Structure 1
Amino acid sequence: MDDTTTASSRQTADVSSLGLAAAAAAVRKGDITSEAYTAALLQRARALAELNAFITIDEAEVLEAARAADKLRAAGSAAPLLGMPLGVKDSYLTKGLPTSLGIESLAHFVPREDADAVRAIREAGALIFGKNNLVEMSYGLTGHNARYGQVKNPHARDHMSGGSSSGSAASVAAGLVPASLGGDTVGSIRVPASFCGVVGFKPTTGRWPRNGVAPISHTLDTTGVFARSVEDCILVDDVVTGEQAAESPEGDYGLKGARLAFAPRQFLDLVDPEVESRFRAVVRQLQDAGAEVVEMDLGHDFNSLVQTATWGIFAHETMGAISEFLRRHALPTTFEAIYESLKPQLRQAWEHIVLPGGAGATSAEAYQVALNVSRQEIQRRLDTAFVAHGALAILQPTTPCTAPSIGEQATVHIAGQDVSYLALANHTVSASSVGLPGISLPVGLSRAGLPIGLELDGPLRSDQRLLNLARGIEGILGAKSGST
């Protein structure tokens, strides 16, 4: 390798390590051009194509958009995301760029409109770098896609990325893009964020726009973002919501006197020892930084209540939600055609829980109980943390284990037990059940070099306060790095 090639590789690595806010500031200041930054990321994406993080990248189009951004900058534009190439999960409609939803029959479908969140980042100057790989129809937690390939974990290629926003997490972790839009119904942002060692933010359900994003459940779905720091998530949150976050004084992490809660009976019941050990060490670090950590119990039946209600709502709403989305946005397929084209394991799951009359389908009566009775009880119990104990957030390990090997698709090994892969969402599902904002932070690596995540769930509509708290915890832990 000659000196020129070595220098080029080093420059690519240097810019790919930039966070979103830092890269945006560098472009605004003229330290780098959007075209040079984008070209470096494209080079890195080609070099790491084996990760299967993207389904579609139109290199010519994104470079042309980068050159246009540089012209806007020269003309005086200071848009917050000017010239920033971002990933977008391939469940989001993107005008002029194929949107597959992860299935073969839509591989060549090109929407005539952007999803609302995509429109918001474009209007703020961002470029769509490409469409991230995902589990078919966003229905899964492992990152496997029969048509587009398993998304691999950048930290260990033989381990899964998590899902369903698998490519979004992997592309940010690998330094292919500084941030990516994802989606979360029961954990599809936070699970892959934990496994890939990046920050994953799920807003309060309904706070971010979700028009133009393929749904699973209108009650539970939310759009959100992956980045390599909380600061970068705050920047995207500002852009998408139009709400300006409060600035924190430099170096002031605001944890002194902050009250946090955790429920060991509920969230440390089925957890790998190494993950529990790291979680408890983090709790001690936060206490040392001045936080008050309150131990609580949400009730012996809390987990079963959450699981039954949330998965029941999830499955009961899927058919109607997808059918309405296809009709409203004129996608050239039907629910029935999608069902028939699914990989065998997923088709069997839909037959069992999604199709009316399936052996595991939720009845209309049970659905109403889950929606109007169980969710109220779940919220009441969580309010014991937020109201009775005055906690700003509930802490837990994001996932009960580090990323399982790719071979563990239907069954995973956690704490000495072989359990359903659905257990990967055991901790994320509680926030989803009632729409709480949640964020997963990387808090270190296992002995095998796999990331471990910490989840913070806040009260409804406390998103900005939760983000500021997470930024403070990130500063205390020094947990900003998720790239490999």
Structure 2
Amino acid sequence: MADTTATSPTAASRKTTDLSSLGLAIAAEAIRNGDITSEGYARALLQRAGMLAELNTFITIDEAAVLAAARDADKARAAGSAALLLGVPLGVKDSYLTQGLPTSLGLDSLAHFVPREDADAVSAIKGAGALVFGKNNLVEMSYGLTGHNARYGQVRNPHAWDRVSGGSSSGSAASVAAGIVPAALGGDTVGSIRVPASFCGVVGFKPTTGRWPRKGVAPISHTLDTTGVFARNVEDCLLVDQIVTGEQDAKSSGRDDLRGVRLAFAPRQFLDLVDADVETGFRNVVRQLQDAGAEIVEVDLGDDFNALIQTATWGIFAHETMGAISDFLRRHDIPTTFEAIHEGLKPQLRQAWGHIVLPDGAGATSAEAYQTALSVTRPEIQQRLNAAFVSEGALALLQPTTPCTAPLIEEQATVRIAGQEVSYLALANHTVSASSVGLPGISLPCGLSRAGLPIGLELDAALGSDRALLNLARRIEGVLGANSTAS
């Protein structure tokens, strides 16, 4: 699949690397302008996918279909099309239904299931001219945070192949970080976009829950689920957000500083259990933002804030899973049942579902506790967060996206954070707060640890303020230094 104009393997590799470094908006503009062809771009990305196959970022890539779609895009361009994503291949998490392309949900039993329809978000990007490059690997039923899949393999971190990618949108994040695709669709319930974005060193955007369409995407919780996107810069997230929601692009302030911007962070809640490298990196970022003119205020969300978040959010998460999945299977004529899925899960996940998801499980959330979480605890959490956004006038709440950098693959069941052995669920300790009440959140790469592993900065904003958050993130990205692979 190498470019036939290459004069040597080295030249071919360099050509592929050059094209794979393009960000989404830049690649789309280059195709529209005729600087590159969609077919040439797709061939370069397919070649890169082959070179990096051991990362396990994709479950399915139909090379012939990708190239045929790219040739069609080139014909459309010649006929005058100026679609925003014309001819650009994107990755799609394999929890999204894709017409004519297998959708496994991460399960062995659905390896050959081919939907008759696209998820709404997939329809949106196709309508803007994008191609589906392939279906990204994921944790079974999106139930996990490290990127392990018993049937399709562990997704490896492109920065260190012996490290996890994060999950559940593991392949989506890693494929963007590896330069296989310029952007990819993912899903986030308690951190499944932001955790892998942090570990893989890319931008991961979780919209306000319910703002992006969820139809046609395998669910966990109708209260918490949202679709979203990975890219190598904020500008590309803005572009995909515009396409999926129909909202026009927010104009940039044109400023390269943060004067007049007030931001908040809660050290007692979000720096209590973090690795030293992560805390050092985060405090360095705070200083950089202050040096750029931002006003940073410390807030305290309460002694019991983290306990409220954990109890309410995980309780809702588990209580809604069985009903949400069963309904999804029925509505989309998927040839399996919840019971069959449960039986086919890897042992550790099957045991976890038996404990917290099945109504008779020892750890199942009662109907009363579920209602309390929805009607009492969530409003209390929202009220405390509002204190930062309203009382303090902060545009966003800052914290490290994850309390540590990517753990070793062999140590993913129990991870070490700040010298303590804790469950891998602790990887979502910071992301779960925005999920609990549906806030928009974005993770930005903000540096490397001493071991050279990416560190993420999370910005959470008030409900519905997605475009303002993305604009703010674009300014902060400029202050911190945009990821060089997105240029």
Give the TM-score band, short-chain normalised.
over 0.9
Correspondence 1:319 to 2:322: yes
Contact 1:198 1:482 in 2 (8 A): no
Which whole-Å CA distance do the structure 1 matches of 2:257 and 2:103 have between them?
42
Aligned match of 1:205 in 199, 206, 209? 209
Q: Give the drift of 1:481.
A: 3.8
The equivalent of 1:54 in structure 2 is 58
In the alignment, is residue 346 of structure 1 matched against residue 349 of structure 2? yes
Counterpart residue number, 2:332: 329
Q: Does 1:456 align with 2:459?
A: yes
User: How far 1:409 sits from its partner (Å)?
Assistant: 2.2
Q: Which residue identity does 2:439 align to in structure 1? A: L
Asked if residue 264 in structure 1 is aligned to residue 270 in structure 2, the reply is: no
Which one of the candidate residues 411, 434, 438 is aligned to 2:437? 434
Out of 367, 370, 375, the position equivalent to 1:372 is: 375
Q: Which amino acid is the alignment partner of residue 36 of structure 1? A: G
C-alpha distance in 2 between matches for 1:479 and 1:118: 27
C-alpha contact (below 8 Å) 1:184/1:202 kept by paired residues: yes
Partner of 1:132: 136
C-alpha distance after superposition, 1:309-366 (max 9, x if no partner): 0000000000000000000000000000000000000000000000011010000000
User: How big is the shift at 1:253?
Assistant: 3.5
Distance 1:279 1:471 in 2: 18
1:12-161 map, 5 Å: 12-161=16-165
Secondary structure of the residue aligned to 1:321 is: helix
Aligned equivalent of 2:475: 472
SS of 1:455's equivalent? Answer: strand
Note if contact 2:316-2:373 (Cα within 8 Å) is conserved in structure 1: yes
Is the CA contact (8 Å cut-off) linking 2:257 and 2:479 kept in structure 1? no
Residue 23 of structure 2 contacts residue 485 of structure 2 at CA under 8 Å; is this kept in 1? no
Partner of 2:365: 362
Counterpart residue type for residue 483 of structure 2: K
Give how far 1:4 is off.
2.1
Q: 1-side partners of 2:332 and 2:175: how far apart?
A: 28
Give the CA deviation at 1:247: 1.9
Return the offset for 1:470: 0.1
Distance 2:484 2:142 in 1: 27
Is the partner of 2:8 in helix, strand or coil? helix
* 1:393 counterpart letter in structure 2: A
CA deviation vs aligned residue, 1:83-138 (integer Å, no higher than 9, x gap)? 01000000000000000000000000000000000000000000000000000000
Listed as ranges, the gaps of 5+ residues in structure 1 are none
Matching residue within 389, 392, 396 for 1:389: 392
Q: Which residue of 1 aligns with 2:292?
A: 289
- Residues 270-318 of structure 1: per-residue CA shift (max 9 Å, x gap): 0000100010000000001010000010000000000000000000000
Report the AA paired with residue 364 of structure 1. Answer: A
Counterpart AA for 2:173: A
Partner of 1:308: 311
Matched position secondary structure for 1:442: strand
| Contact 2:264–2:296 (Cα < 8 Å) also in 1 | yes
Three-state SS of the structure 1 residue aligned to 2:409 is: coil
| Paired amino acid for 1:42 | L
**Quick one: distance in 1 between partners of 2:419 and 2:217?**
38
2: distance between equivalents of 1:351 and 1:412?
A: 23
TM-superposition CA deviations, 1:425-464 (whole Å, max 9, x none): 0000000000000000000111111100000000000000
CA distance in 2, matches of 1:38, 1:438: 31
TM superposition shift of 1:408: 1.6
Q: 2:406 aligns with which of 403, 408, 412?
A: 403
Aligned to 1:100, what secondary structure does the other structure show?
coil
Identity %: 81
Count of matched residue pairs: 481
| Residue segments in structure 2 that go unaligned for 5+ positions in a row | 1-5
Give the aligned residue type for 1:444: G
Aligned partner of 2:39: which letter? E
Change (3 A) 1:228 1:246: same
The secondary structure found in structure 2 opposite 1:131 is: strand
- In 2, the alpha carbon distance for the partners of 1:263 and 1:176 equals 36
Distance in 2 (CA, whole Å) between partners of 1:29 and 1:321 is: 44
Q: What's the CA shift for 1:249?
A: 4.8
Runs of 4+ with >3 A deviation? none
In 1: Cα distance, 2:303 partner to 2:210 partner = 30
**Greater Cα shift, 405-414 or 227-236:** 405-414
CA shift, 1:3, in A, is 4.6
Q: Is the Cα–Cα contact under 8 Å of residues 443 and 479 in structure 1 kept in the other structure?
A: no
Summarize the alignment of residues 164-183 of structure 1 with structure 2, pairs less than 5 Å apart: 164-183=168-187
Distance 2:91 2:248 in 1: 23
The one-character-per-residue Cα deviations of 1:460-481 (angstroms, maximum 9, x if unpaired) are 0000000000000000000324
- The amino acid that maps onto 1:460 is L
Look up the equivalent residue of 1:194 and give its one-letter code.
S
Q: Among residues 208, 220, 223, which one is paired with 2:224 in the alignment? A: 220
Q: Give, as a single letter, the amino acid of the residue that structure 2 aligns with 1:344.
A: P
Name the SS for the 1:444 alignment partner. Answer: strand
